[in-house]
Structure 1
Amino acid sequence: MAGIHITDPPAPGSAVRFAPGFGQRFVLTVDTEEEFDWGKPIERSGHTVHTIARLARFQEFCEGVGICPIYLIDYPVASSPAAIEILRPAVAAGRAEIGVQLHPWVSPPHTETVTEHNTFAGNLPAELEREKFDRLRETITDAIGTPPLIYRAGRYGVGPNTAQILADGGIAIDSSIRPHFTYSFAGGPDFLNLPLHPWWVDADRRLMELPLTAVYSGLLREMGDWLYPRLWRMPPLRGVLARLHLLERIPLTPEGVTLDEALRGIDIALDMALPVLVFSFHSPSLAPGYTPYVRDEDDLDRLYDWWRGVFAHLQRRQIRPTSVAEIMASVALA
């Protein structure tokens, strides 16, 4: 995959096709990570993993509605006995799946200086990005008992060497691309103008890109990738455009997105004939006080109610959950 960048526009004919009968499905991905202060510069030390205990309740919640969550875990979580105790039996029983999330600032080896630029793993030298990934993958495999097949870069920070590293590491699916977002202002990748439909990153079909789902709503939605980033210095204007139903960006996450907005986003994504809707959120939101989105128990209750409302709407729309294993099996039959 030399020279192939995950953020390159997909080649003609590279769209993933699924077996007949697959239809439209959804996956629930959890960025399962340590806690840190989101309002301060990222540091190598000072993090905790207190919210890992809350995974047990969330896993039970998912099992109660027949959903197999995908936990994308980073090094502090993979090194946590509490996380292993909760996740290993769920994965072994087929009630959950495991993947890799690389936070380079807390993943050994710790040879780089921690700067904002270096928090995007794809900005690191190829050898260092590879070693951090390999160590994390091996730690996850040893801890959970099964090799991970899906990857998400922390801060969505893929780079020019990521595709080769993932393919060499046995990863079948990357889910780092966040269409309609750009992190170029911080030295990270730019995902504007990339599609929502999954595609093959390479001609040999060794690596699939399964983008997170985010859509534009409103009369100006076709101009979204041009107009929305230009409003980043004017948040009130974004709010005005949303209230006037002119332009609104809706990622499928309970973090900062209301249930009504999410249901509207789901319907737009389904109307676009997306085969897989990708939901996501951060595991520290499962306990009050660790993210801006869940400050108290009432916020936590609202997070669970958000998921209940989303699952009920998907059921009404006859959209079933799926998994990494099922996605790969359906692609193999296409």
Structure 2
Amino acid sequence: MKKPAFLITIDTEGDNLWRNRSGHVTTKNAAYLARFQQICEKYRFKPTWLTNYEMAIDPVYIDFARDVIARGQGEVGMHLHAWNSPPAFALTDNDWQHQPYLIEYPREEMRKKVDFMTQLLQETFNVKMLSHRAGRWAFDEYYAELLIEHGYRVDCSVTPGVNWRFSPGAPQGNGGSDYTRFPREAYYLDAADIARPGASPLLEVPMTIRYKHSGLMNTLKQGYDRLRGKRRTPSVYWLRPTGGNAQQMITLAEKTLADGADYVEFMLHSSEFMPDGSPTFTTEADIDRLYADLEQLFSWLQSRTQGMTLAEYAAAKSAT
């Protein structure tokens, strides 16, 4: 690649799922996505819309995504929230409340859900599904095996340095995936151990994340937390907007590229482009500040990177 890639990944899902534990999901945010698509195209970047069930059946989103695909200005990939994705299977006494991880389900139920979502997306958008991100970032070897069987080429579920064990899913489960010892750069994963490089055809593209503090400081903080009876992962910076953090994102991207990375990966949820679609951006003024931050970040990245979808990046990696 002549320049490092800028990978824009959007978890494309229902409205304010942080707050919604009722079982009734709305998809009003589908009407707010065109503005973000326009700013991406302004800077010649191509988002990957990682799409879950409720969005895949929303007529507004379907029309939007088909247009993006037809014009070659982005990609649709798969995103799967296990508690809300057919076929139905009750894992807990209230799956909407607990929002269990897909990797907590019986293997046969995992397979059925991956089969269904892959087929639904391919039939709806008339394209092969190549890119994927797990719901709630939960990934394991069997999940990887299912993706490989379906011909996926790239996954972006790994959040290096983050331990999701402290985030509960099913009450009888062990929490999410622990990524504290995973690579930070893209790698073809070992299907028998997704934490290490191997010979599988599935490219893992970890999120762009860096620790806020030094290794020594993290050790001291975690030791102090244990004494207080608390468990949490060390603090990190993500390449994602949180409101007024444009310079922080630029600094993170700059350090990542300076370390020799051949990509930086940005993420956000589709509902965050809509007022009151998330806990972070609740008003129209918040959304305007979000776009002001995006203008600064995208402007800085435009001359330093090249826009690619996840599948385009995977194809470029395989050609080298």
Q: Which residue of 1 aligns with 2:162?
A: 181
Residue 85 (structure 1) aligned with residue 73 (structure 2): no
Q: Which residue of 2 aligns with 1:253?
A: 240
Q: Which residue of 1 aligns with 2:8?
A: 28
Q: Any residues of structure 2 matched to 1:136-215 within 5 Å, and which?
A: 136-185=117-166, 186=168, 187-202=175-190, 203-215=198-210
Are the aligned partners of 1:156 and 1:177 in contact in 2 as well (CA < 8 Å)? yes
Q: Any residues of structure 2 matched to 1:173-322 within 5 Å, and which?
A: 173-185=154-166, 186=168, 187-202=175-190, 203-217=198-212, 220-223=213-216, 226=219, 249-255=236-242, 258-316=245-303, 318-322=304-308
Q: Any residues of structure 2 matched to 1:321-332 within 5 Å, and which?
A: 321-332=307-318
Q: What is the Cα deviation at residue 129 of structure 1?
A: 0.9
Are the aligned partners of 1:196 and 1:274 in contact in 2 as well (CA < 8 Å)? no
Q: Any unmatched runs of 5+ in structure 1?
A: 1-20, 235-246
Q: SS where residue 115 of structure 2 aligns?
A: helix
Q: Which moved more, 1:285-294 or 1:22-31?
A: 22-31
How many residues of Structure 1 are paired with residues of Structure 2 in the alignment? 297
Structure-2-length-normalised TM-score: 0.86
Q: SS where residue 204 of structure 1 aligns?
A: coil
Q: Any unmatched runs of 5+ in structure 2?
A: 169-174, 191-197, 228-233
Q: Which residue of 2 aligns with 1:242?
A: none
Q: What is the Cα deviation at residue 119 of structure 1?
A: 2.1
Are the aligned partners of 2:243 and 2:289 in contact in 1 as well (CA < 8 Å)? no
Q: Any residues of structure 2 matched to 1:114-153 within 5 Å, and which?
A: 114=95, 119-153=100-134
Separation of aligned partners in 2, 1:231 and 1:79? 47
Q: What is the Cα deviation at residue 36 of structure 1?
A: 3.8
Does the C-alpha gap of structure 1 residues 115 and 223 become closer, same or farther in structure 2, counting only changes over 3 Å?
farther
Separation of aligned partners in 2, 1:126 and 1:331? 31
Does the C-alpha gap of structure 1 residues 201 and 76 become closer, same or farther in structure 2, counting only changes over 3 Å?
same
Separation of aligned partners in 1, 2:296 and 2:224? 30
Does the C-alpha gap of structure 1 residues 321 and 33 become closer, same or farther in structure 2, counting only changes over 3 Å?
same
Percent identity at matched positions?
A: 28
Q: What is the Cα deviation at residue 72 of structure 1?
A: 0.1
Are the aligned partners of 1:215 and 1:268 in contact in 2 as well (CA < 8 Å)? no
Separation of aligned partners in 2, 1:121 and 1:77? 18
Letter in structure 2 aligned against 1:200:
Y
Alpha-carbon RMSD across the aligned residues, in angstroms, is 2.3
Structure-1-length-normalised TM-score: 0.82
Q: Which residue of 2 aligns with 1:96?
A: 74
Q: What is the Cα deviation at residue 22 of structure 1?
A: 3.9
